[in-house]
Structure formats: structure tokens, C-alpha cells
Amino acid sequence: MKNPPLVKVGKDRKRSALSEPPEGTKRVFALKTQPSTSSAVTNKNVHASRKACGGIGVKSDLDARHDDGQVETNISPYALYRLMTWLSPSYPIGAFSYSSGIEWAVESGDVTDADSLMRWLTVMFAEGGGFCDCVFLRHTHEAIAESRNAKLYEVAELSAAFIPSKERYLETTAQGRAFVEATRAVWPCEAIERLMTAFEGPLTYPVAVGVAAAGHGIAVGLALHAYSHAMVANWISAGVRLVPLGQTDGQRILAALEPVAARTILRALKTSLDQVGSSALRSDLSSMRHETQYTRLFRS
């Protein structure tokens, strides 16, 4: 088999394409995303919600935080296909059965409508488990890319030890194990085998995704964006069912959290393992309280 062509990814760097396109078809190279513009925000409620999240969501704010040098935005269509598959709600990891403590937040009255759910998730993602997951995914990706098995072991072990409650532990390790099993069977790569050899303990979800992304040559910034979207969308889906809310309200919340995710990812890309930490105490307590909640629809 001839050597695969090179695809440009970021400034002055190249890597091999993931696979060859079928004979007789044109090769489609990377598409570059553009920062959001104010014309894309047409719903006044979404715009107001974004401003409420610390003033983010306005065009000038998004432009100021967009940095192609920190988050790679080039991807081959084959890598994009795999990333979308792995982080799809249809991927068999059972994400729909977990609420990450949101069920208790609704039961206790902390979350009662779309605005309170948006505020809860903003803190939960930017200052809690969402941020920590992004840091662990990023360092896992680096460990695979740099062939550092000792670091891979360190990240996997710390990620498992960092979980604040029994149900969160079940949530992330069950999904991590299911992700590895499905990906190993359908999208095998040498990186997953390295993970199986280097670490025999419980695998968290961000570590599993980071290994697969690095093993298939997917840039860490893109993997973080896809992972963050899947996480937030699953939380919103739980909230929509629990409050309950309308589907359009759920989409408004997802749109409002877009800049929150973007700036959290940039923080995660700069955070070392010894600086990772959570300050979303109420969210952590909710996951503990959920363990003894009388009526439950979700496993966490």
C-alpha cells in the first residue's frame, strides 16, 4: 500500500491522513471553522442568557477568545466522521441514563426552569467536573501522542481518584469502559492497546476518549470541543426531562453555553495536572445526595 498523503494541521505542521479515499473520488481537505458572528444570534433570549454568563456571547467577546494557535480547527473528513460517531448520543455507552446529580438539583429546588438550569450547568462545566474532564482528556491525548506510558498511567490513575462521589464514579467508569469496548471492536488502534497494557485500573470516560482521539490522529482541541458538546448536551437532555422543559428551551441553553465551553477548553489546554481542581461544591454534593434520593429516574 502506498504511503498516505499529508494533511496540513495547524501552522507549519503535517501529519498523515487517516485513510485513503475511494478510487476515483476527490480528496477533501480540512475545513476551517470561523468565529461566531453576531448575525448568528437571532434569538433575544439566547443573547440575554449569554450576556448573563459573565457577559460572554457577544461577537467581540468571542472574537477575542478565538485563537487558532491554541485550538486546532483543521480536520480530515475521515477523522471528523469518527469523532462525530464516538460522541453521538447513539454510541453505546449509556450516557442517557446519567444526570450527574442534576436530578437531585431539580428535586431540591435548585433547578426549576431554563434560566436556573443554564446557571447550574455553567458552574458545573466551567468550574466543576466538566473542566476537570477536559484537563484529563488533554493530558491523556498528550501522553499517547508523545508515547509516554508513565504519564498515561499517571493521568488515568489521577482521573479515577479525582471523582467526588460513588455515583459519579459509576457514571464515568461505566461509560469509559463501554467506550473502550465499542471503539476497540469497531475502530481499533494501537493507542487503545497501549492503554490496556499501561493501566489495568478503572478507566474514566475522558481518558478513554483522549486515547481514541490521539490514536486516530485527531487534534486535541477538536476532541475537546466534541467531548464538551456531548457532555453538555447530555446534561441538558436530563434537565429537559426532569424540570420539565421544552425542546427549544434546551437548544437555547446549549447555544448559551457555547462560549462557556470555548473558554473552558482554552483554560484546560493551559492547565497542568497539579493545577486541576473543582470548585462546584453544590454540584458535587448533589451527586452524593442523589445516592439516597427516594424517587430516581437516573443512575446519578
Q: Is 202 helix (H, G, I), strand (E, B) or coil?
A: coil
Residue 224 near residue 172 (C-beta atoms within 8 A): no
| 72-95: b (≥16 Cβ within 10 Å) or e | bbbbbbbbbebbeebbeeebebeb
**For the chain, percent of residues with pLDDT exceeding 70:** 75
Tens of pLDDT, residues 175-209: 999 999 999 999 999 999 999 998 999 999 999 99
Average pLDDT, the chain: 82
Q: How far is residue 187's CA from residue 91's CA, in Å, rounded to a whole number?
A: 12
Enter the pTM of the model: 0.77
Provide the pLDDT for residue 1. Answer: 44
